[in-house]
Amino acid sequence: MYALGIDIGTTTISAVVVNTENGNVETARTVENGSFLDRGREWERIQDPDQILSKVKALLDELFETYQNPAVIGLTGQMHGIVYLDNEGKHVSPLYTWQDGSGDLECFDGRSMCRILKEDYGAAANTGYGLITYLYHCRTGGVPETAAKVCTIMDYLGMVLTGRRTPLTHSSNAASLGLYDSGKKCFCTDILEKEGGKASIVPEVTDTFELLGTWRGVPVSTALGDNQASFLGSVTDAADSVLVNMGTGGQISVLSDRSFTAEGIEARPFGDGNYLLAGSSLCGGQAYAALKNFFEAYAEAAGVNGVDHYEIMDRFLTAFDRANCAPMKVTTTFLGTRGDPKKRGSIEGISLNNFSPAALTYGVLEGMAEELYQMYKQIVDGLHISRSRMIASGNGIRMNRHLQKIMCEKFSMTLQMAPHEEEAAYGAARSGLIAAGYMTLAEAVGVTDL
């Protein structure tokens, strides 16, 4: 028996076929998303839903040639973003992605939409979260005239595959849109209406793993948020594990049956009344890439081209003697934080002894680890819990043995790489199996008392 998982990422779209008997990935396919649109607005980050769905369907057609009767299709993808739908369930807008910057535009008497929501209502509001983007559109005339609902791109994929006319959104995705009360399991529609929006715009929400309908006779499950899907696809001993992801950004996730929030920590619904306590660094692996670009620019100015600077940085790190040379202290908030988008990074502790490329390179990696560690510390201190195993995912850590070692030392944990590179797509397949009744959530994450 097989299960299919689809992950609509920001830069790539992935699909996996999972053998349910042994848990192995039988085949995996990844294609470039490549659907960004440019309307000349600096703050806007939008993608074409038609291009995305066309590529997903092509992947499904290819896989169905070999695996004709899978047990279920599970879905996941980039959280926070929205598409507008009309009364027939057809999209009437581009996908406004999680990278959209309209929520931070200070164009309402010197205040941004995020600032209004935080100051006037005490609401957690980050730019790129779909309902913050929606309220910005309400104030600026950007809502399509025929818009009746909003949903995520993976929710929309589920609608198109199963012929639904209205979206059914898992709570993991509902919370990612912002203005969602995870305790009451509902949107804060009173705030929406006070700020000029419509309560009817929000999708129907479920906290359980459900089936939406069928495609070619195969059941299709509700889409899971990609953070939750990655956890489900990576962790099998959640009671003693923390998931660390390092890609373009960074993220740390801990499963809990209790809600907990703090500065930079969100309680994201995981299903059946459980939460992923998650902290996200906006820069993450981009910090290391930015350092590579710095070295590359200098080399090219000196007439040196065609050099693998990541390989040179690896050599720096291998030779670096931390015991006898303190690295620079690098704060890697180069893109700000969720709570303070204007915050920037810094480099401290520079001396004649450590003013070297090696010390700077090591300092950047330590800074990336430190930002996530401080988020983890808030969670364990707030809930009085502990974890001893780190499950790591994402190419930013998978391909950097030095960062792996630094993370182990920083967290005082053993580190194990996630067994599957397409963690979110793998988790989507498993969420489909839960929805179809082949396993429970507790069984999937190895916690008997969920």
Q: What is the 3-state secondary structure (H, E, C) of 277-301?
A: EEEEECCCHHHHHHHHHHHHHHHHH
**pLDDT 10s digits, 305-354:** 999 999 999 999 999 998 888 889 999 999 888 778 789 999 999 999 99
In words, the CATH class of domain 235-418 is alpha beta
What is the residue whose two structure tokens read 């660094």? Answer: 281
Provide the residue type at 87 as one letter.
Answer: N
Superfamily for the 2-222 domain: ATPase, nucleotide binding domain (3.30.420.40)
Answer whether 162's CB lies under 8 Å from 214's CB.
yes
CA torsion sign for 181, 184, 185, 188 is: negative
Q: Please report which helix (H) or strand (E) contains residue 332, including its range.
A: none
pLDDT confidence bin for 62, thresholds 50/70/90: very high
Q: What is the mean pLDDT of residues 433-448?
A: 88
What pLDDT, on a 0 to 100 scale, did the predictor assign at position 140? Answer: 96
Residue 385 neighbours by CB distance under 10 Å: 14
3-state secondary structure of 141: coil
For the chain, how many residues are written? 450
Strands 389-393 and 414-417: parallel
From CA 353, how far away is CA 142, in angstroms rounded? 55
Q: What is the mean pLDDT of residues 378-400?
A: 91
Q: Does the pLDDT of residue 296 top 90, yes or no?
A: yes
**pLDDT 10s digits, 75-102:** 999 999 999 999 999 999 999 999 999 9
Predicted structure pTM score:
0.88
Q: What is the mean pLDDT of residues 267-295?
A: 90
3-state secondary structure of 246: strand
Residues of the chain with CATH 3.30.420.40: 2-222, 235-418
Q: What is the mean pLDDT of residues 226-242?
A: 92
Q: Does the pLDDT of residue 447 top 80, yes or no?
A: no
| Best CA proximity match to 274, nearest among 312, 239, 236 | 239
Longest dimension (CA), the chain: 68
Q: Which residues contact 399 (CB under 8 A, 6 or more apart)?
A: none
